[in-house]
Amino acid sequence: MAIESTGVYWKPVCNILEGLMEVILVNARHVKAVPGHKTDARESAWLADLLRHGLLKARCIPPRHIRDLRELTRYRHSVLRDRSTVANRLQKVIESGNMKLGQVASDALGVSGRAMLRALAAGETNATTMAD
C-alpha cells in the first residue's frame, strides 16, 4: 500500500496497518502530476498505478518507538514554549500594575516568584515582608 506523506494524515493509517502489510510512504511532491481533474479517487488510482510499476520512491518510516519519542519531545517543546508565553504574559500584567517582579525574582514562576505572587494575591502590599 502507498500513501502520501501530507501533514499528519498518514500517521493513523500507518499505525493501524503496521505489521499487517507493507506501507510505503511517498513524498507528495514526487507524485503530484495526476493527469486530468484532481479527485481523491483519481489520485489513489494514480498512486496504485505508480506502485504497480515500481515507480515510487519510499520514504523512511521510523520504527514505532522512535515515532513515539519524537512525539513526546515535540509535545515537551510546545509545553515549554507555552510556559514561557504564560510567564511573559504574567510579568506584563504585573508590570502594568506598577510592580517590578522581574527586578526581584529572576524567574516569575520559580519558587520565590510564585511565593511573591501568592502574597500579592493574598493582599500583601509591604515589599519588605514579601522580600523576606
pLDDT digits (tens, 9 = 90+) for 29-48: 777 765 666 777 888 888 88
Shared domain for 38 and 93, answered yes or no, is no
Q: Find all residues with CB under 8 Å of 11, minimum gap 6, and list them.
A: 67
What pLDDT is recorded for position 33? 66
What pLDDT is recorded for position 81? 94
- Residue 128 bridge partners (DSSP): none
What pLDDT is recorded for position 39? 78
C-alpha cell recorded at residue 70: 519524537
Q: Which domain holds residue 9?
A: 2-59
Shared domain for 35 and 68, answered yes or no, is no
What pLDDT is recorded for position 24? 83
What pLDDT is recorded for position 127? 73
pTM over 0.85: no
d(CA 35, CA 28): 15
- DSSP annotation of 60: P
* Number of domains the chain contains: 2
What pLDDT is recorded for position 69? 95
Per-residue pLDDT of the chain (132 residues; tens, 9 = 90+): 888 877 777 788 888 888 888 888 887 777 776 566 677 788 888 888 888 888 888 777 888 899 899 999 999 999 999 998 998 898 888 888 777 777 777 787 888 888 888 888 888 877 777 777
Shared domain for 28 and 86, answered yes or no, is no
What pLDDT is recorded for position 78? 96
Query: What's the helix, strand, coil split of the chain in %, to 5?
Result: 60, 5, 35
Domain limit, last residue, from 27, 44, 59:
59
What pLDDT is recorded for position 85? 92
Shared domain for 49 and 84, answered yes or no, is no
Q: Which residue has the cell 507524485?
A: 31
Shared domain for 127 and 69, answered yes or no, is yes
d(CA 22, CA 81): 37
Shared domain for 84 and 41, answered yes or no, is no
C-alpha cell recorded at residue 86: 504564560
Shared domain for 35 and 55, answered yes or no, is yes
